[in-house]
Structure formats: C-alpha cells, structure tokens
Chains A and B, each alone.
Chain A
Amino acid sequence: MVIHVQGVGKKFPDGKGERWVIDDVSFKIEPHQATVIRGPSGVGKTTLLKLIAGLIRPDKGEITVHLKDSSVPTSLNLLKAGELLRFRRDHVGFVYQFFNLVPTLTVQENVLLPLALTKREHLRERALDRLQQLGLSALLNAFPAQLSGGEQQRAAIARAVAHEPQFLFADEPTGNLDGGNSAEVFKLLWDEHERLGTNLVVATHSDDVSAYVARTIQLT
C-alpha cells in the first residue's frame, strides 16, 4: 500500500519536438495516507495520477507499489501490458471530473460493473448498501444522463470503491460542482478512505480538501 515515485519523468510530443511535462518527480506515499496533489493548470497533475494508476508509463524513473497481501514491492515499470491492466482493474479506483459512468448502464449496474470485472461478487451487498448511504436508493435504475452533477459524482465514488481497491485516485472530482456539493464529495472520499483503509490521492485546485488531508505534493 506504499507508493514510491522515484525520479519519474514523462514527455509528450509538442509541436515538432518533445516536452517533459513531468521531470524528475520523487515522493513516497505511506499506507492509508491521504494526499493532495496541487499546482497550476497544465503542470501535470493529471499526468502524474495516470502514471501512478498505471494508465500510462513513465519515460524515466521508477514507480513501485507495495500491495497489502504481497511481501515484496511491485515495480509498475516492469509489469507487462496485461499485468498493468489487471493491477488497475483489481487495485485501483478512479474518479474523473466528468464521465465516470457508462451511459448505457443504470446507476446500480455501473456500481456492479467493477465487481463483475474483478469477480468480487461477494461485495455486492456492501456496494448496494453504500449506494443507499449515499442517498441514491431512489435512482438505482436511472441512467447517468438522468442524474444531476452531484449525484453523478456520488455514484462515481460508489463505483470507484465498489470492489474495495487499495488505491483511490480522484482527478478534480469536484471541478464542476458548486461549494456544497464539492465539500460533500470530498467528505465522501475521505469517509471511504477511512473505512476501507485505502490510499487516497486527489488532484485538485479546491481548498475544501485541506481539512482532510495529511499531506500535500506541490507541483511547480
């Protein structure tokens, strides 16, 4: 449950040449820690989250994660494509700013999708209870398009944690929500982090999150 980022860099094609968006970033996130990544727009917050979630690979440096039930740390750099995919599927929950739900599935089906993919059907009852606690019980059979922005983000959190992953990542999860909804979303993320004992990493501009997190990584 430890994330160790050592000298990581990522470059993207930029016009004719290439540009290092992230260059030589290092940090370590301890078990059960809640962390916020901050920085001005375009600095590479999303890119960093994607790197540690195994969605993209670094161009230099190494990212290692230490999973709960394994004795040795795993280097994400060394995983094959399929293994990285399984790491992401089994151990990561991800909340984006928008479009977190499959539009052709109902709220309930969306939440059950990670369980089907990870074959963790035994978590079904808990996942459905969580939906109730999040005040979505009336919307179980609604399709995402019928939900408000706040409801969508709550459902997204329920989906992200349904399979009880060890890492919970959120990229501007409150970017398009008003103050009240925004604070509520952070609280929910925090609650789930507490209850499941996951690592929580949030990238955001918002200050609402400060009340909860222990540690800030500032990108410049």
Chain B
Amino acid sequence: MIALLVNLVLALFAITVVHVTNHTLVHEFAEGQPQSAYHYIVPFTDNHESSYFTFRERWRAGDLPEIVGVVPVIEGNLEIAGRAIPLIGIDLISDLHASFDLGDTQPQTATQLVTQDSVVAFGNDLANTSFPNHIKVLELHSGEQSLLLADIATAQNLLGRMGEIDAAWLRNNHEPAWGWLEHVFPGITSGFGFTLPELSLADFDIKPMAVWQPTQAFAGSIAFNMGLLGLLAVLVSGFIVYESTVRSIERRTQEFNRLQTIGVSVLQIRSVLILEATALVLFSVLIAAILAFVFLQHSDLISKVPKATFLVATSKGLVLGLSTALIGVILAFTREVRKLAWIVLVFGVVLAVAMLCFGIWMTTTLVGAYLAVLALCVLHIVVLTPTIMRFLDALVSRIIPKSLISRINVRAMWQHLKQAKFAVVAFSLAIATAIGITLMVGSLRTDFFELLDARLPPGVQVREASSVDPAIIRQWAGVEEVREYFRGEGNLSIGKTDVIATSLDEFEARRYGYEYETDRVGVYVNEKIASQLQVQVGDELELKLPDLTPINLPIIHIFKSYGDVSRVVLLPKNQVPASLLVRDRVLLIVHPDSFADVERKLQETYPSATVLNHREIRERAVQIFNRTFALTYLIALIAVVVAVIGLFNAALAMQSAKSSEYRLLNTLGFSRLALFRQSFTQSLLLGVVCCSLSVPLGIGIAWLLCELVNPRAFHWTINLHVAPMTLGYPLLLGMSAAAVASVLPWFFISNNPK
C-alpha cells in the first residue's frame, strides 16, 4: 500500500511539475514582447498621425471584420549610457482588452505610465544602467533584450517626434480550433503549423507581425519539443499508475481468493477496490500537489507559480490518475487482455509499417509526420525490442563468462530485464525521445550557428537606411566594403513575399551558402517558399512586383532562414526597377581597428537609422539559443526521471527474491561492499541494454523530427548531425538513471536481510 502510494505521488508530482514548467516557459517564450498580443502590423509610410486616424475610421466602419483590436505605435531609439536602447510607445488605452504582457507589472502600472510620463524598462543588462533625468523609470523587468516601453505620448515626447505614428498593431480574433489543447498539453500545438490568414485593405499594407527575432522564431520549435516531452511524461506516469495498481492487486490475490471462497462476488471485490483506488488517488493528488508546489516555489525553473495553471495541472493529474488506476483495477481481474493474439500483432505491425510509409512518402501533412513518429514507436515496441531481446537471450545463454561472479551478474541482469519488460520498454521510449529531441535541437543549433557565421560576417548593419549614402561611407577610413539591400514586396501565386534586391555576387553567395557560379542568373528563395510552392533549384519562379511587372527567373538557390517567419526572395538588383524599392539596409565590412569609429560616425551622420553590430546580433542570438538548449536538456531530464520511477518500481517488486539471494551470498562470504558491487554491476548492465535499445529509436525519432516534422511545421530543414557529445548526454542520463533505479532497492534489502 505504501509502495503504491509512493508511486502514485511520484507520478502525479511529475505530471504537475512538467505541466506547470512547460506552460510557464512556453508562455514566456511566446509573450516576452509587448507586441506578442498582436498578430499584424500596418506601417504608415508617411509616419503621420492622420494615416492612423484614416485607418482607424475604416476599421471602425467595418472593413477588416477579423480584427478586434488596434493600437497605434511609435518606435525609435533612445541614447542611454552611450547605447541606443529601443523605445516602443503604444497607446495603452486604445485597446483595453489586450493583455499586454508587462512581466509582473501590476494593473495600476498602465495608468501610471499614462499619467506620469514614465517608462517600463526590460533587459537584464539595464539593471545597473543609470538613466538620464528626463527618463523616469517606473519599473525594471528582467528580459533577454533591452527595451523601453512607454505610453505613446511619452514616447513621442522622448523621441522628439510629436504628432507622428509609425504603425498600428492589429489583434486578430482568430483562435485556432485546437486552442483548448494548449491548456491540456502546453506547447504541443506550436507544431500544428498554424498560419495567419492574409489581410488586405486598399492603400494600407497589412503584414503579419514577424520581427526578426530569434526568441520568437524558435519559440514555436522549442515549445513544441517541451510539449512532446510533457506528453511523454503523462504517458509514462499513466503507465506507472496502471502498473503499480495491477501489481498491488496481484499481491493480494490470496486475500481475494479467500474472500471468494466465503461467497463474496468478484463484483463486490471490484467495487471495494474501485473505492479504495479512488480514495488513494485523491489522497496522492493532494500530497503530490503540495510537494509540487513547494518544489516549484523553491527551484529556479520558473520565477512564479501561476495559480490557474497549477490547478489545471493538478486536475490533469487527477483525471489521469483516476482513469489509469480504475483501468488497472478492472483489467487486473481479466489478465488475458494483456496477451495479444498473434493476428492482432501482425495486423498492428502491418498497420504501423503502412502508417510509417504513408507519413513519410505519401503525404506532406504534419499529421502524416506525427503518424510516422507514432508508427516508429509502435514498431520499436512490438518488433525491434522483442527481436533484440530474443537475440540477447540466445547470446546470454551461449556466452558463459569464466568467472562465476560474472555469470551471476550477466544472468541476473537478464532475468531482471525479462521480468521488468514493461518498465524497460517505457524507459527505453523515454530515453529514445530524449535522444531524439536533443539530437534534433543539437542539429538545429549546429545549422543555426553555421548560418549565423555565414550571414553575419564581421561588420555593421544599418537598418532604416533610406537616407544613408553608400558613396560617402565608402570613403571612410577602415570601411572595406559597403553593400546595399533594397526591400519591397511582391506577389507569388501563393501570396505575398518579401523581396530583397542586392547584387548576387560571390560575397552574397557566401552569405547565403551558395556555391557561386559567375554566369548563372537567377533568384534565391528561402525554404518557406520552396516548401509552400513545392519548387526546387532550377524551377522558374513567377513573381509580380507591386506595379505588376512580372519577373520570371530560375531559382538558383534555396537558403535556410531560421529566423524568418515570412517568405523571402533575393533578386539580382539589376533585374528590378529602382523606383519600386527602398534602400532598407546597408551592410559594412569594417576593419577591426576602426569598428568603434565607424559606428560612432554612423550614429552621428544618420541619427534616424538603427546601427547594429553583427557580433552583438550574433551573441544575442547565441545566448538566447543556448538558454533554450539548456531548457531542452532540463525537460529531457524530467521526462527521464519519470521513466526511472517505472524502472524503480520494477526493481522494488523483485526485492523479496533478491533478499534471499543476498542472505545466501552473505553466508558464503560476500561482504556488503561485494554485494553492492554486484548489484551495481547488474544495474549498469541493465542500463547498457536499455540505452542500446533506445539508441536506434532515438536516432529514428531525430531523423523524423528533422526531415518531416520541422519542414512541415516550421518550413525549415535541419541537417541531422549525430554528434557523439549530443548523443552522450541522454545516454549518460539514461545509464545513470537506470543504475540508480535498480541499485536503490538494494539498500532496502541489504539493511534488512532475512
């Protein structure tokens, strides 16, 4: 009873902790920025208030019925302690229903922002900054990126741009059909590939909110991983509750037999057991909730435990715990259910193979990709694992180590493995998922860093560079190369795309990872276009510029752009009428010694332009990515810990048989140390087998994630790198977890030899 209670509490604890952590982190990723509550942006090219008022009138008149909230915005930079810090001004009262995510900000802060001309500062690096007197900082919040937020009037004032408005942010009423799922499995829906509908309104240019921002860009991918791991934690926990219920009932078979002989019906026994299980689950939920709350408060996984989320997590645990425990009670008396007829087995295998083939080759949908992952897991459980086990069985009975002690170890490990089959399968699934996800994220990291290295050569980027004159800059000392990028918008058969025109020479080819060929003329497209248009290198791209000038050029390169949410076409500058484009960006390659000089000169000469150092952009991106990378490890760890509970259960169940063996060996002259060494060796062997079982599946899952799920959900591809270091982490985790889980019961036994 105690063992069952401990298992229930552990399983429910794991569910609650994983859920709350996931939900909070996903939320944090998705809503770390003030604009995250908005879906579209409408830039006003003349930056004039009147444009905004015109737009608002038309929206109020009923154009754009999908939009439920509009807010005017002004953006710019403030110089603070020698650095340019972005300032965003929004009209806090024009869209009161929006939930601005201002971190832990109290409701009255918004009022104070409006009435006191003050700002809210975000950014870890602003903590020790002294702000000039005219900038009143109301609150300081942590955050990856430094940012100031103010009421629009305050911002206009601070920027010295009275009466100007840069853009309006629009809020959509669109809630995807699976929105509820997000509450049950936080993160999981990010992989469902949700795209906003395209909106248009004459004279205005409505674009999806898609700032180049690594946090935002990877949020989906990372959130999805965490969702998957959370799902796994739930599955394994359910399995544990089920197993321990069934086992505790099995232990009481004699008692039930006796009851039956004195005339108690199975139905009566069952109802008593159901009552018992319900009471036990309720009690465990209570304890688990308290433990989880205390744990979350004291760990630094998340800064604050949101009450509502915590309640959802606890109810999730309750529902899962009750249902699996009750299924356990009902099935415990009908044990035959567990033995699958071979017909069913064959049918299952054929179905799984069919699902795998279908998911990989016959469909390009995301659902197909998930089916393939599921089918792979099923095949692992019903085909690969039994086959390997049979092979190992033959091996173990044939290999006879010379030393008798080693013989005991190998055979005991094997026995353990066979008896704990279910736990081992659950465990290897958990390790495999951990391997799959870590490999995928590791590969993404490698590809992303390669991309950063190529795309951001040592230099400076000037954004909003319409006023910049390259001819002048080229004369400056230390400037080695000046490149111009013109931006506009075009139309593809599938919708709008960003168009960037520049000279597609050897330099640009290197930035975009293209093997340059002098005489090939054509366009580069990003992976999003390639995947949505189903085009390849060599195909002709039909593009219409805003004045409907058609451009038909072959695609000569498809480039990765993990940061971009939008479609992007890179055109050779000489193919586009100059009037259609504005100079948007200028890139300078600068001699390292002159960096500071050039940067300062740029700021002075073009105060309205944004100057960004490539090194800084890169560092920031790397920093953010590494944080998410560490999170993946952490969540993988939690998933594995949940699985370990299952293995631990199985080991505990074999305790009584082991205790007699230990008594015997102790009589024969084994010391406690020798017994421990023996137990440890067996556990380690068990860990090796479990982990080797999970490696092929783990790599398979990683492959499917890279080749199917990511391209279909996020329209980018990842080259799978099976790096020994990345593979090593989950393996080491699994090995030590397996060892701990099977060695722990040893302490119970050895302290109490019968």
Contacts and interface: CB of A to CB of B under 8 A. Distances in A.
Contact of B663 (A86, A88, A99, A116): A99
Most interface-central of B412, B415, B666, B669 (chain A CB within 10 A): B669
B661 interface: yes
Interface of B: 403-405, 407-408, 411-412, 415, 657, 660-661, 663-669, 671
Contacts of B668: 88-89, 113-114, 117
A89 B404 contact: no
Contacts of B663: 96, 99
A53 B668 CA distance: 11
A53 to B, nearest CB: 7
Interface in A111-153: 112-114, 116-118
A192 to B, nearest CB: 17
Contact of B671 (A82, A98, A112): A82
A117 B408 CA distance: 14
B669 A99 contact: no
A208 B709 CA distance: 76
Contacts of A90: 669
A85 interface: yes
A70 interface: no
B669 A104 contact: no
B408 A104 contact: yes
B749 to A, nearest CB: 14
A53 B411 contact: no
Contacts of B408: 102, 104-105
Contacts of A81: 671
Most interface-central of B660, B661, B668, B671 (chain A CB within 10 A): B668
Contact of A102 (B403, B665, B666, B671): B665
Report the interface size class on chain A. Answer: 20 to 34
Contact of B661 (A85, A102, A114): A102
A99 B664 contact: yes
A55 B667 contact: yes
A114 B668 CA distance: 7
A109 interface: yes
A94 interface: yes
Contacts of A112: 404
21 contacts: A55-B666, A88-B668, A89-B668, A89-B669, A98-B660, A99-B661, A99-B663, A103-B415, A104-B408, A105-B404, A105-B407, A105-B408, A105-B411, A109-B407, A112-B404, A113-B404, A114-B668, A116-B403, A116-B404, A117-B668, A118-B669
Contacts, number: 54
B401 to A, nearest CB: 11
B660 A53 contact: no
B667 A94 contact: yes
Given A109-B407, A112-B404, A116-B403, A102 B667 contact: no
The 4 closest A-B pairs by CB, nearest first: A89-B669, A104-B411, A99-B660, A94-B667
A13 to B, nearest CB: 12
A33 interface: no
A103 B411 CA distance: 9
Nearest to B658: A103
B669 A86 contact: yes
A170 B667 CA distance: 12
Nearest to A92: B667
A100 B664 contact: yes
A53 B407 contact: no
A85 B669 contact: yes
B675 to A, nearest CB: 11
Interface string A20-52: 000000000000000000000000000000000
Nearest to B660: A99
Given A105-B408, A116-B403, A88 B667 contact: yes
A105 B564 CA distance: 63
Nearest to A112: B404
B668 to A, nearest CB: 6
Contacts of B660: 98-99
Given A53-B667, A103-B657, A105-B404, 12 more contacts: A55-B666, A81-B671, A85-B669, A96-B664, A98-B660, A100-B664, A102-B408, A102-B661, A104-B407, A104-B408, A105-B408, A109-B407
A103 B661 contact: yes
Contacts of B403: 116
A102 B669 contact: no
Nearest to A53: B667
Contacts of A116: 403-405
B82 to A, nearest CB: 71
A215 to B, nearest CB: 24
Contact of A109 (B404, B664, B671): B404
B667 A104 contact: no
Contact of B415 (A92, A98, A104): A104
A86 B660 CA distance: 21
Contacts of A113: 404, 668
Nearest to A90: B669
